[in-house]
Amino acid sequence: MTDLLIQGALSGLLIGGVYGLIALGLNLVFGTMRVVNFAQGTLLMVAMFMAYWLHVLTGLHPYLTPLVTVPVLFGLGYAIQVVLITPLLAREKTREPMSVLLMTLGLALLLENLALLLFRGDYKTVQVNQTNAVWFLGDYIVSVSRFWALVALLATVAALWAFLTHTDLGRAIRAVGQDRQVARLLGINDRVIYNYAFGISTAVMGIAAATLVPFYYIHPGVGTSFLLKAFVIVVLGGLGSMPGAALGGLAVGVIEGVIGIWTQAAVAQILLFAVFIAMLFFRPAGLLGVERK
């Protein structure tokens, strides 16, 4: 049993890499704009289709697709912010941006149905060297494709952390997240900062997609279940915290893996959402979040 639990924890840690990447994107937008982006899962789906077609049409390995998808997705995210979200935010600047939240939900439904129209309900898969490949760690099995997802998460979170703490733009993003009024007083154009934040958050989906495509399936509805998990992770790790999102992702993966072995996968889901509610109740700032006044 212990062996099984360790295997469950190990596998959970690896898939946690993917969860963490999606949560990173969600957290970046929430941390700066205080907007929950319901379209995050759908943007992941868009990124997965981009990676898939790049691989199929040009033979580019999925792991190299971020070279193309990350800049394109950054542009897409930037454009969504400029065209769709900024006007709504401006209209609602005196109250909580409720219609922005609904707009992201609308955008999610629009993109999903557009994908259904373009690609129908087909489930697409990719076969590369990493697909179905494993390494042995003693008696334990390490899935190669999921291992690279974990590496990608760690690399991305390190890069984002460095960017947010050591560059002017990064510091400006954090400043706006902490207090947009004060940031404005200090001469930061918060609207432009939002554009960057949304762009980066969308670009991260390109990395998540690259790690998923070799072992997962690509389908217009694929983002939904990942998005739900990302919400739990963001609340667990801390709203607005990058290391929190990564840690939360890994924690959720491990919890799922261990509980799934111990009882059933469905029980793990119930438990995760119970943790979600408990965190909101007792520690709304999450594990690594900062309590806001």
Partner 1 sequence: MRNRRSVLLSAAALAGTAVAGRWAHANEEIRVGVLSPMTGPAARFGAIQQSTLALAVEDVNGAGGIRSLGGAKLRLIFGDTRGEADMGVTETERLITRERAHALIGAFQSGVGLPSSAVAERYEIPWLNFGTVDRITQRGFRYIFRPHANDTLKARALVEGIINLGAAHGGLKTGVILSENTEWGKSVADKQKTFLEQARVEIKLVEHYPYAAPDLTSMVVKARALRPDLVLANSYLGDALLITRLMGEYQLRPTVYAAGGGGHLQPDFVGGAGALAEGVICATAWDPAVGRKVPWIKEVNDRHVARNGVPITEDAACYYQCFQVLVDALERSKDLDPKKIRDAIAATDITDPNHKAMFVPCTRLSFDETGQNPTATAMVVQVQQGKLRLVHPAAAAEPDVTPIWPYGRKA
Binding site for partner 1 (CB under 8 A): 4, 7-8, 11-12, 15, 18-19, 116, 120-125, 127, 131-134, 141, 143, 215-217, 219-222, 224-226, 229, 253, 256-261, 264-266, 268-269
Minimal distance in Å, beta carbon 125 to partner 1? 4
Report the residue number, 38 or 226, with the smaller CB distance to partner 1: 226
Closest approach, Cβ 86 to partner 1, in A, equals 32
Q: How far is the CB of 148 from partner 1 (least distance, A)?
A: 14
Taking residue 122's Cβ as centre, other Cβ atoms within 10 Å add up to 10
Residue whose CB is less far from partner 1, 88 or 236: 236
Q: Compute the least distance from the CB of residue 291 to partner 1, in Å.
A: 30
Closest contact distance (angstroms) between CB of 109 and partner 1 is 12
Task: Please say which residue, 71 or 135, places its beta carbon nearer to partner 1.
Answer: 135
Max CA separation in the chain (angstroms): 59
DSSP state of 137: E
Q: How far, CA to CA in Å, does 263 sit from each of 62, 228, 266, 276?
A: 35, 21, 9, 19
Considering the complex, state which of residue 81 and residue 130 has its C-beta at the smaller distance from partner 1: 130
Distance CA 48, CA 59 (A): 15
Neighbours of 205 (CB within 10 A): 34
Axis crossing angle, helix 168-178 with helix 144-166, rounded to the nearest 10: 90
Residue 188 or residue 245: which is nearer to partner 1 going by CB? 245
Burial (CB count <10 Å: 0-12, 13-18, 19+), residue 165: exposed
